[in-house]
Structure 1
Amino acid sequence: MNSQDEQVKEIKSPFKRYIIIAGIMILIVLILYFSKFGFYKLSSNQGDWGTFGDFVGGSLNPLLAFLSLIALLTTIKIQTQELSETRKEIRASSRALQDQSESAKLQIFENTFFKMIDVHNSIVLNLSLKKFNVSKYVDNKFMVKFIDNFIELERNEDSKDRDTIRQLHDICKSYTKLNLFSKEAQYEKFYNYYEDKISNYYGFIYQILKFIKDEEDNNQDFKSKKYVYLFRSLFSKSELTLLAYHCLSKIGRKKFKSLLEHFEFFEHLPIKYLDDNLISKFDKNIFGKSDKWKKYLENKQNKFKDEYATT
């Protein structure tokens, strides 16, 4: 027996009792009447029937009226319970539909997110870089001509996929080191030189982070950090450092930099990979809740206060 059948049975049950009670009342009244006045043949006298009717009506009408009132109140109570159950079912159905809708939205987001991750990996796998024609070889290091100067490299060889990023990082770091006070300008020269290779790489990283941020803005219950952490885990330390340079140039500082800061993207990047000139340009949020970064930044701030106090 299903729940609907049980509800029908519960509704019918009290009314069966009321019918039985009404029958018993009628029977009791008839028994009282006949036990008092005895059983006679059907009278042809209207007065006898009037007396009998008055007795039965006067006895049963109040009782049956009271019983009808009880039945009416029972009906109202049952209808109230049914309405309450209906409202509960509607709320439950609404919650279920909402949960299904949220689940469907999350599934659509995740499908798109992981497809974007695949595209990002494909972009990285297609990266490549040819080695420089060596100009000098001094102290086990390669001195190569790059743009408008010579730079020093630990290695000089053809590179592919993620190894290309490491080589680009080494080139960028060596080239920007030539001018400590104009790293942004030096980086922009570096970017222009390799734009055909890395513009798509940077652009798609930005699109993935923007995609996560848009979902976060549109859904208060969305847990963006787990997707950011998953994406960030794909980056080597060299990639994160190269991102730091990129986001401080005019190319990336307008929108890209704020996304990295919002998602605490450099939380696990070792301090030695960024010099003070780069670190000072970022909001401290980019280093997240890392105790090492927190201690380092506090020491730098205290040192600056001490130097300012002595001047």
Structure 2
Amino acid sequence: MFERVGGWCKKTLCSVGHRWIPEFLRGVSPVRWPRRIFDAMMEPENGDSRGALFVFILIALSFMAAMFVIAVVAQINKDGGLGTFGDFFGGVLNPVFSFLTFVGLLITIVMQQKEIREAKASSEKQSFETLFFQMITIHNSIVNSMDLRTEPVADPPIAGKEFHGRDCFPRFYQHLKQEIKRAEAAGADDPIQEGYEKFWARDRKDLGHYFRYLYNMIRIVDESAADTGRYMKLLRAQLSDYELIILFYNGLNEKGKRFKPYIEKYAIFDNLPTELLHKNHDLDRYSDGATTDTSIARKKMASDFLATWKRQYIDAEARGLEGLSDTFDEIVSDASEDGISLNELNGAAGGNLKEWLRRAIRKVSGE
């Protein structure tokens, strides 16, 4: 019986004006609205229960207003007319004030939810920044702890040399270049692969720890919820020219193959000194994303996509808010086909794609 009543109410409300029903209540039988409102207040999906609180207050005030009107009509129809209305009105004020106190308490809870959410986001950001700069410090300490020594030569007499910290990487580069040229002279099928294998066997003891830590540092940033592009640029700025060259050939080797996707994703070689490469066409072994910082271009692509989509599907079709969820799914699907992610759409829409769609639809429909 309740299901039939709920179905009738839902059909009636839809015919009256589906657009006025809050989004979190759409598709739900009115019989179950109280539970849905309660859940939205206690455990809101996005941490903001203002919408559910507004609906609750609106329903409560409507109910009180209806009861007040009924009571006034009943008093008028009595023999005493409005003579006892003052007593009735005084008796009603106490529960009204109690209700307003309860509403104030709910508003306080909602405000605390917002403050807690903002404090949590700020704390998470600060914690990650602290972790990131600690990782940068450790990375630099690993580099500074590097030492290379060359043996003295008797004939002709050449004194041994010492290299420390980042000064070791030009020396590593010379070692790598020598091994690639030797492999090339020996007629190797792939001089870069064979030369790097020989180079790695020679300098692994000094570079193994360096590459393992750098890889895990990039992986942690990539898996975080932070602005990865910003932190990757800071990390990229830590790498010297010779570090980039060694990393370039490491990513082409079997031992560094897990590095390559991150290199191409975050344009690690955006400032690569190409004059230090063995051959310029070695760049062809990476995608364009490895050497070009595409973040600005992708932001523009996402913005252009939104503008075009709005013109073709929102403005031209005069869509309404009742289909907001379907419109959201449609634009995300179309963007995915063009290689644009939901995060990029949110960024181009000012942080919230659904809110951007709502404003665009309202502007067109005049709601």
Distance 1:126 1:83 in 2: 64
Match of 1:16 in 2: none
Instruction: Name 2:221's counterpart in structure 1.
Output: 212
Match of 1:147 in 2: none
Equivalent residue number for residue 115 of structure 1: 134
Amino acid at match of 1:110: E
Deviation, 1:233, is 1.1
Match of 2:191 among 169, 182, 190: 182
Distance in 1 (CA, whole Å) between partners of 2:197 and 2:87 is 92
Cα offset for 1:158?
2.3
- Correspondence for 1:263: 266
Shift of 1:289: 3.2
* Residue 79 to residue 173, structure 1, CA distance change in 2 (3 Å): farther
Partner residue of 1:125 out of 144, 147, 172: 144
Higher-Rg structure is 1
CA deviations 1:268-302 (Å, max 9, x no partner) are 22333333342111121112337xxxxxxxxxxxx
> Does residue 257 of structure 2 align to residue 248 of structure 1?
no
Residue 249 of structure 1, CA deviation: 0.5
Q: Provide closer, same or farther for how the CA distance between residues 68 and 282 of structure 1 changes in structure 2, counting only shifts above 3 A.
A: farther
Q: Give the TM-score, by structure 2 length.
A: 0.51
1:225 maps to what in 2? 229
Please give the alpha-carbon distance, in whole angstroms, between the structure 1 residues aligned to 2:256 and 2:217: 15
Q: Cα distance 1:72–1:134, how it changes in 2: closer, same or farther (>3 A)?
A: farther
Verify the 8 A CA contact 2:266 2:293 in the aligned structure 1. no
Matched position secondary structure for 2:256 = coil
> How far, CA to CA, are the matches of 1:187 and 1:72 in structure 2?
90
Superposed CA offset, 1:213-241 (max 9, x none): 121xxx2xx21222211111111111101
* 1:197 has 2:206 as partner: yes
CA shift in 2, pair 1:75/1:252, >3 Å:
same
Matched, 1:65 2:84: yes
Number of aligned residue pairs: give it: 210
Q: Is the 1:247–1:256 Cα contact (8 Å) retained in structure 2?
A: yes
**Could you tell me which residue of structure 2 aligns to residue 53 of structure 1?**
none
Identity %: 22
Gap change, CA 1:200 and 1:64, over 3 Å in 2: farther
Which blocks of at least 5 consecutive residues in structure 2 are unaligned? Answer: 1-77, 185-189, 295-367
Q: Assess if the C-alpha contact under 8 Å between 1:245 and 1:278 holds in 2.
A: no
User: What's 1:43 paired with?
Assistant: none
Q: Secondary structure at the match of 1:159?
A: strand
Q: Structure 2 CA distance, aligned partners of 1:203 and 1:136? A: 39
**Pair 265,136 (structure 1): closer, same or farther in 2 beyond 3 Å:** farther
Aligned to 2:163: 159
1:242 aligned partner, one-letter code: I
Distance 2:197 2:287 in 1: 21
Relative to 1, partners in 2 of residues 1:136 and 1:271: Cα closer, same or farther, differing over 3 Å? farther
Provide the rounded CA distance (Å) in 2 between the counterparts of 1:135 and 1:188: 30
- For the residue of structure 2 that corresponds to 1:289, the secondary structure is coil
- Where 2:285 maps in the other structure, the secondary structure is coil
Counterpart for residue 12 of structure 1: none
Match of 1:279 among 265, 279, 283: 283
C-alpha RMSD of the superposition: 3.0
